[in-house]
Amino acid sequence: MPLKRIISRLDIKGPNLVKGINLEGLRVLGNPDFFSKNYYYAGADEIIYHDCVASLYEKKYLLDFINKASSNVFIPVSVGGGIKTLKDIELILKNGADKVFINSAAIKKPKFLEEAVKNFGSSTISISIEANKKKDNQYYCFYDYGREKSNRRVKDWIDEVQSKGAGEIILTSILKDGTGEGFDIGLLDLVHKIIKVPLIIHGGAGNSNHVSDVLKYKNVSGVAISSMLHYSLIQSDKFIFENKKEGNTSYLLSNDKYFSSRFENTSISQIKKKLKKKRLDIRV
């Protein structure tokens, strides 16, 4: 079995790295290039770029970030958000991404997933799932950055995308995203036994114990972390804020300690050291 991956996830809106809670209330955190470069040197196993708005006009920022990453970050780069056509995928790969992930477009038209796999190969096409409970207390797949509900149950959708050739699944818990309360273990317990492709868990990491809690599952290939890494880096001496004069920058300009109290102040290398001590198979 490959080593368990620690992946840093960067949510992008226009020219900025952003982060919210429950995929809402996005705050501007700075220049994505600065963060990805730091995570590469700190020992990240992979980087995920997720475009939150992904309108055609704003895509040029994303492509620019992937371009820069491919020339100074020598680990795999996975990109998604708003991918609708095979042309979109081609453009993202040509700009230096290694993998793309799809959510909305596959939920609306599952055949698109099959076409993507046929054209670019299984290992290049991942599925992103934004999961949340509805009133019946069952987990369903949401889309459009958590704004829209679908009628697909998470478990059924995992079965379907695996049979259609998805090479990897990134599973986000909307409820836990940005909270630092720990990953959604209920969601993981529901799905881990039916997993046949690599599974990446995202949403809720607040400290390294949360990370080891999910990496203990045999079928979990890695975790994607955003808030905990971003807020730690912002608090470090290295951090330089470049104001792009767009979006909600009030968090960075204020001295809000709310977030620093929810997330362990750490780094990828420190997290990895702790995981190694717990005898998890990690790349150091």
Partner 1 sequence: MKKITIIDYGTSNLKSINAAFNYLGYSTLITNDKKKILDSDLLVLPGVGSFPVVMQYLTKHCLDIPIKEHIKKNKPFLGICLGMQVLFEYSYEFKKTNGLSVLKGEVNNLMDMNSSKNILIPNTGWTALKRNNLFNQKNLITISKNMNFFFTHSFFVKPKNKRIISSYISFGKEQICSSVQYKNIFGMQFHPEKSGNKGLNLLEKFCKL
Choose, from 46, 51, 88, 130, the residue flagged as catalytic.
130
Indicate whether 197 belongs to the interface with partner 1 (CB under 8 A). Answer: yes
Q: How far is CA 209 from CA 59, 84, 101, in A?
A: 36, 37, 27
Collect all residues with Cβ–Cβ distance below 8 Å to 6 and sequence separation of at least 6. 43, 44, 45, 211, 222, 223, 225, 268, 271, 272, 275, 282
CB of 114 closer than 8 Å to CB of 164: yes
Indicate whether 80 belongs to the interface with partner 1 (CB under 8 A). Answer: no
Which residues in the 35-74 window bind partner 1 by CB under 8 A? Answer: 40, 45, 67, 70-72, 74
Candidates 76, 159, 270, 273: give the one binding partner 1 (CB under 8 A). 76
Max intra-chain CA distance, the chain: 50
Indicate whether 249 belongs to the interface with partner 1 (CB under 8 A). Answer: no
Indicate whether 219 belongs to the interface with partner 1 (CB under 8 A). Answer: yes
Name residue 215's amino acid.
L
- Minimum Å gap between C-beta 251 and partner 1 is 32
Indicate whether 194 belongs to the interface with partner 1 (CB under 8 A). Answer: no
CB of 260 closer than 8 Å to CB of 197: no
Indicate whether 199 belongs to the interface with partner 1 (CB under 8 A). Answer: yes
Indicate whether 284 belongs to the interface with partner 1 (CB under 8 A). Answer: yes
Residue number with CB closer to partner 1 (76 or 110): 76
Residue number with CB closer to partner 1 (7 or 228): 7
Indicate whether 279 belongs to the interface with partner 1 (CB under 8 A). Answer: no
Which residues in the 114-133 window bind partner 1 by CB under 8 A? Answer: 120-124
Site map 22..41 versus partner 1, x via CB under 8 A: ------------------x-
Candidates 28, 75, 100, 116: give the one binding partner 1 (CB under 8 A). 75
CB of 185 closer than 8 Å to CB of 176: no
Q: Is 11 an active-site residue?
A: yes
Collect all residues with Cβ–Cβ distance below 8 Å to 72 and sequence separation of at least 6. 37, 40
Q: How far is CA 245 from CA 29, 114, 241, in A?
A: 12, 40, 11
C-alpha dihedral sign at 72, 77, 82, 87: positive
Q: Is 98 an active-site residue?
A: no
- Minimum Å gap between C-beta 247 and partner 1 is 29
Please work out the total of residues on this chain that contact partner 1, with binding judged by CB under 8 A: 38
Q: How far is CA 117 from CA 79, 171, 200, in A?
A: 15, 19, 19
Name residue 50's amino acid.
H
Alpha carbon distance 239, 7 (integer Å): 20
Residue number with CB closer to partner 1 (3 or 253): 3
Indicate whether 221 belongs to the interface with partner 1 (CB under 8 A). Answer: yes
Which residues of the shown chain bind partner 1 in the complex (CB under 8 A)? Answer: 1-5, 40, 45, 67, 70-72, 74-76, 93-99, 120-124, 167-168, 195-199, 219, 221-222, 283-284
Q: What amino acid positions are annotated as catalytic residues?
A: 11, 130
